[in-house]
Amino acid sequence: MDKVVDLYLSQPTTRKKWKEFLEKLGLHDFSDREIDVIDHTLGLIDEDGKLVGTGSIAGNVLKYIGVCNEDATSGARFNKIVTALQQYLFNEGKFHSFVFTKEKYSSSFQHLSFSELAHTEQAAFLESGNPNVDDYLNSLPQIPNQDNKKIAAIVMNANPFTLGHRHLVEMASQENDLIYVFVVATDLSLFKTKERMMLVQEGLSDLKNVKVVSGGDYMVSSATFPAYFLQSPKDLIDTQTEIDARVFKNIIAPKLNITRRYLGKEPISITTHYYNVSLAHELGPDIEVIITPRYQVEGQLVTATQVRKDIKEGNLTEIAKFVPKTTYDYINDNLLKLQDRIKKGMKIDGN
């Protein structure tokens, strides 16, 4: 009978066996991006001491799940490793989990009480447990007679919240009855999620038709989207964009009557520009995508990336040009703490 064991990937021999096992199953991406976020790994060992299955956990996401079905009932080992991973999460007090997997494996997870949120030709995104997407949507504020109002959405990382973000929301608020500003909840930024939420809320507090809410687990970030089962970096961008758009279009937007989504035009980052174009293609025609020119100050584009670089250099005079007073005051009061995060390796490039 197969036995579930802990696998410690910090041990070179264990990691080598684990990697070789998964490579035989067709998985080949073992980059730091994928491995460094793993919190724990389990293995299935048969009666001969041979590794016949494995699965890992990163936060509340299951990944690197693979089994060898030789000399075993079809599906038995898969069921056992997934059940063991979920039990591990339960023991950690986590009762809600996700998996990104190849589309052809979606039905296998659904047999284990996972619900599919979205799929593409290459991938599927599923969840299990509570609070689920319905609980998330029911927690969001609404206004009276919302089904008959013009509702729009903006999704932002706001790392940190700038005058560019403020300009985009101001414009949208003038053109719609209600704006949802979804703040990406992934904690992989210079400004932590709680800090970003606070700065967005403070920076928009005077706009009465704006609701600032957490994107929760349902604004699918490229930073957290596993790519180990995909073939190329382009596949990652394509698949992540499609999954993100389909969750928004088919689940989030209908519940909140969102019919518009606003994006800032991207003249610098090719990746973000491609994301915007792909997102517009995926969301249309049901959701109108409005791409607006980037806000400028003194002929200079306002970007959160530049603000982060100015934080590194301690250039408060430049920062003051590009952010609302609420953001400036926070940076001024916490400059050393933010600079310390950068010194410890927090990346400040990108969006």
The CATH number linked to 38 is 3.40.630.30
Chosen domain end from 130, 164, 191? 130
324's tokens: 């609302």
State whether 163 and 253 are in the same domain: yes
State whether 120 and 245 are in the same domain: no
State whether 100 and 205 are in the same domain: no
Confirm whether 350 is domain-assigned.
no
State whether 161 and 284 are in the same domain: yes
pLDDT tens per residue across all 351 residues of the chain: 899 999 999 999 999 999 999 999 998 889 888 999 999 999 999 999 999 999 999 999 999 999 999 888 889 999 999 999 999 999 999 999 999 999 999 999 999 999 999 999 999 999 999 999 999 999 999 999 999 999 999 999 999 999 999 999 999 999 999 999 999 998 889 999 999 999 999 999 999 999 999 999 998 776 567 778 877 777 888 898 899 999 999 999 999 999 999 999 887 777 778 888 889 999 999 999 999 999 999 999 999 999 999 999 999 999 999 999 999 999 999 999 999 999 999 989 876
Please give the biggest Cα pair distance in the chain.
71
Going by the DSSP 8-state scheme, the letter that residue 69 receives in this structure is -
State whether 270 and 211 are in the same domain: yes
Confirm whether 349 is domain-assigned.
no
Whether the model clears a pTM of 0.85, i.e. scores above it, the answer is yes
Residue range of the domain that includes 291: 142-343
State whether 55 and 202 are in the same domain: no
Q: How many CA atoms within 13 Å lie on the side-chain side of 27?
A: 23
- The string of DSSP letters for 141-175 reads ---TTGGGS-EEEEEE--TT--HHHHHHHHHHHHH
State whether 208 and 317 are in the same domain: yes
Q: How many domains does the chain have?
A: 2
State whether 124 and 148 are in the same domain: no
Confirm whether 137 is domain-assigned.
no
State whether 166 and 35 are in the same domain: no
State whether 287 and 151 are in the same domain: yes
